[in-house]
Amino acid sequence: MYAVDASNLPDTLSDSASRASASCLRLFETGVDVARVDWYTNVFDETYTNLKNTDEFMQEFVTAIWNTRDGEGGKEGEAEGEGGEGEGDGYRGVRLYYPDAGSAALTNNKWPWVEGGGTVPRVGVGDVMRKPGDDGDCSEIGVFVCMKAQEKEQVELYLDKYRESGKKVRGVLRGGGRKFHGFYDRPITLSQPQPAYSFFRILIHQRKKKAILINPNLIDMGVTGLGLSGRMYTERVMAPVRQAYYLKTYPTSAVVFEQGSGYSLWREAEVEGGYELVDTTIQQWTDDEVETELEGEEQGSGNVFEGIGKFIEGMMSL
């Protein structure tokens, strides 16, 4: 039995987003390129879609990751990587990706952005229907929100592009007492070189772009199946993804995970804080295991998959 530290329940929605953001950044420091955040606090309420239920959390998450990415909150105009050359320890630029253009437009139009008197720092917003690179994205962190099996191929294209990142060509044009700096995807030369100007190309190494998957459901029996296609996609795309944060609430209990700690099961109790720790494991709890551990304590409709089985349940959560 491995000894593992317990993960604490967040006090508020904002606290949960801050913990998730910090966990992602800690995971990136270990060399991981793709982090995963699962945040399900409306598991038993089917009134709204997963995307709708996640919206408020995403606003807090974007604010948290913006405020912690470089320790200083960044400067106006750097949200999409426009404000510098990416030097220093902090990540410059955050961009959100949604499954379709409609969801992206809704976020662009409805979120309380700071320039409109709101609280959410302005970041780039796009959708995965575009070919990677077509949107001019130069951010260092891409956040993919509630991607489903229908978007699995587009997500794979973006993640492949992210894995290829890390190098750019820096061009310095000198002449007339001025220097012009710029970053290019490939070496360029002056179309009509003139004696008054000289062009230097320097190949530099930049940090790889990082990706965060929020509530992904990229393997679904109704779309990809659990056969060869689903297994190959899991091995090819999902295997390198590492869990950064996990929170799933039940009617009288909750499971939480933070990077560096274990998966902790908490249940309601008449104690300070309202919850007591039941157990902590190194593996994610299934709904069946939660019910068994709580020894039949009333969980309402806690078994989301109604006996389909642990294997299918695990696959559908990928």
Ranges of each domain in the chain: 13-166+209-248, 170-204
Per-residue confidence (pLDDT) for residue 299, from 0 to 100: 42
How sure is the predictor about 43, in pLDDT bands with cuts at 50, 70 and 90? low
Q: Mark residue 248 as left, alpha or beta (left: phi above 0; alpha: psi -120 to 50; beta: remaining).
A: beta
Sign of CA dihedral 15, 12, 17, 123: negative
Per-residue confidence (pLDDT) for residue 47, from 0 to 100: 61
CA angle 77, 66, 135 (to 5 degrees): 55
What tens digit of pLDDT does each residue of 256-300 get?
999 999 999 999 988 887 889 999 999 999 989 999 998 755 444
Q: What is the pTM of this model?
A: 0.75
Whole-angstrom distance, CA of residue 89 vs CA of residue 85 = 12
Q: How many CB atoms lie within 10 A of CB 156?
A: 16
Buried b (16+ CB within 10 A) or exposed e, 173-196: beeeeeeeeeeeeeeeeeeeeeee
Which of 76-85, 234-243, 280-289, 304-313 holds the top average pLDDT? 280-289
Whole-angstrom distance, CA of residue 121 vs CA of residue 65 = 10
Task: State whether residue 205 is helix, strand or coil.
Answer: strand
What tens digit of pLDDT does each residue of 124-173 get?
999 999 888 666 677 889 999 999 989 999 999 999 888 877 655 445 55
Report the mean per-residue pLDDT for the chain. Answer: 76
Backbone torsions φ then ψ of 88, nearest 5 degrees: 95, 180
Instruction: Identify the CATH number of the domain defined by range 13-166+209-248.
Output: 3.40.50
Helix residue spans in the chain (DSSP H): 13-29, 50-68, 101-110, 152-164, 228-233, 287-293, 310-316
Beta strands 253-258 and 263-268 are antiparallel
What is the chain's Cα-based Rg?
A: 22
Whole-angstrom distance, CA of residue 279 vs CA of residue 244 = 19
3-state secondary structure 147-182: CEHHHHHHHHHHHHHHHHCCEEEEEEEEECCEEEEE
Per-residue confidence (pLDDT) for residue 91, from 0 to 100: 66
